[in-house]
Amino acid sequence: MSTAEVVLAILRARPAHGYDVKRDHDDWFPDARPLAYGQVYATLARLERDGLAEVVETRIDGGPERTVYAVTDAGRARVRDWLSEPAPAGSAGADEIVRKAVAALRTGGDAAGFLQGQRLAHLRRMRELTDVGPGADPAARLARDHLVAHLDADLRWLDLAVARVAAADGASAKGQPTTTQEAAR
Amino acid sequence: MTGTVETPVVELHGIEHSYRRTVALRGVALRVLPEEVVAVTGPSGCGKSTLLHVAAGIVRPQGGLVRLLGQDLDRLDETERTRLRRRRVGIVLQFGQLVPDLSVLDNVALPLLLEGHDRQAARTAAASWLERTGMDDARDATPAELSGGQSQRAAVARALVTGPAVVFADEPTGSMDTLGGELLLDLLVGAARERGASVVLVTHDNVVAARADREVRLRDGVIETESVLR
Ligand SMILES: Nc1ncnc2c1ncn2[C@@H]1O[C@H](COP(=O)(O)OP(=O)(O)OP(=O)(O)O)[C@@H](O)[C@H]1O
Ligand SMILES: [Mg+2]
């Protein structure tokens, strides 16, 4: 799981306290399991310990004390590294590609570059799986067919994502609003 | 082959091509090496078919250089180009493009007949390729009686019957179900690999593209990425 990297990406988009981090996460990934508060605070504490995030403000406005976190340079570098590496091509990385693509778009990272790198990782894996030669055992192929079908679904999604990103870039280049976090508010 | 520089089978430089109002290719360069299988992919309308037609010598581009099997196509006249294509190039077009008044068998035999082969020998070779593509039941049918997938199988048989040095195929399995497409592709790629031929495969299907050694991805008439897959 890449909760730490996702939280860092959220902090990269804007400094936030725990409650905002949870809300942004659930906004970014409306169909994923909501992030639990316990997990948010544990993650923020770990990121601070590791020097990837830092406390920039402690607010007490009548209610409970709120600690605002921001990403450090090391944290920014971690997000960049995370987005520059394709996720494993296969079911283990299926959710991860969505997390990375959304995080890249939301933080103004190189989404197109990420999508291209991921496409290549997927195609290479697919080539390995389909390069079986004649006379392969049909039962053995069934298991591979299943993997290939899932990779194909991912690849279609990646192609669609590339087209959407390109269409959005075209629209914003013409001065039309895009659905960024700001516009959505 | 170590130490020798392989002459590319296909060499394109600075290819530009427009139809009346549409710019289809804007400065494309491509090399295909002997025995290489290259997939050309990209969104609909990005110029894949145009690129294939240019590389195969069917369309003369408005700009750039095309070298096919070591021959500069600009230096050949129409007869010479046709002869080169017939002898050494196999072409599967996007919609099959069989000759409507000929039976399937005669369609597949046609490239050999045009090359002056004996009629009986041509028909025997054609029948054997139709068998390999699973089309022997339809050999006496006319193209109008074929389904989309059957036309594509016949077109692949016709492209392979002459034992070409390079095969250009435009969505060769586009009308087929998954397993049928896979078998036809096995045949096409297998036949090419067996005899050291190259294949240029236009497709929007990722599973088909994953059969290639290299993917060339077009967007709006330019090459967006080129990736080695193996
Ligand atoms: N004969 C033609 N006359 C006019 N415009 C054409 C012609 N052929 C292609 N075009 C245009 O040129 C562009 C590239 O077409 P091309 O057929 O090469 O695309 P493609 O990538 O093969 O698309 P598809 O995936 O839909 O087959 C498109 O905008 C198309 O509309
Ligand atoms: Mg086309």
Closest approach of A12 to chain B, Cα-based (Å) = 29
Report pLDDT for A177. 43
Closest approach of A97 to chain B, Cα-based (Å) = 17
Asked if the structure places residue B2 within a domain, the reply is: no
CA dihedral A18, A24, A26, A27 (to 10 degrees): 160
Q: Report the mean per-residue pLDDT for chain B.
A: 94
Residues A91 and A72 reside in one and the same domain:
no
Q: Answer whether B206 sits within 8 Å of A126, measured CB to CB.
A: yes
Which of B15, B18, B22 gets mutated to test ligand 1 (max ligand atoms within 8 A of its CB)?
B22
Tell me which residue has tokens 């070298």.
B67
Residues A97 and A55 reside in one and the same domain:
no
One-character DSSP codes across B12-38:
EEEEEEE-SS-EEEEEEEEEE-TT-EE
Report pLDDT for A184. 36
Which range of residues forms the domain containing residue A125?
86-184
Whose CA is closest to atom 24 on ligand 1?
Answer: B44
B123: domain CATH number is: 3.40.50.300
Residues A74 and A136 reside in one and the same domain:
no
A73: domain CATH number is: 1.10.10.10
Residues A10 and A36 reside in one and the same domain:
yes
CA dihedral A19, A23, A28, A30 (to 10 degrees): 140
- Work out the angle at residue B40's Cα, subtended by the Cα atoms of residues B225 and A140, and round it to the nearest 5 degrees: 100
Report pLDDT for A183. 36
Contact residues on chain A for B229, CB-CB shorter than 8 A: 120, 123-124, 127
Q: Is B159 in the pocket of ligand 1 (CB under 6 A)?
A: no
For the whole prediction, is pTM greater than 0.90?
Answer: no
Report pLDDT for A137. 81
Mean local confidence (pLDDT), B48-75: 96
Tokens of B212: 């290639």
Report pLDDT for B34. 95
Residue B221's pLDDT band (boundaries 50, 70, 90)?
Answer: very high
- Number of domains making up chain A: 2
Report pLDDT for B4. 60
Q: Is B47 in the pocket of ligand 1 (CB under 6 A)?
A: yes
Which range of residues forms the domain containing residue B33?
10-228
- Number of domains making up chain B: 1
Report pLDDT for B97. 85
Q: How far is CA A12 from CA A48, A92, A110, in A?
A: 14, 26, 14
Asked if the structure places residue B22 within a domain, the reply is: yes
Q: Which atom of ligand 1 is nearest to the CA of B51?
A: 18
Model confidence over B118-173: pLDDT tens digits? Answer: 999 999 999 999 999 999 999 999 999 999 999 999 999 999 999 999 999 999 99
Question: Which residue ranges in chain A fall short of pLDDT 50?
Answer: 176-185
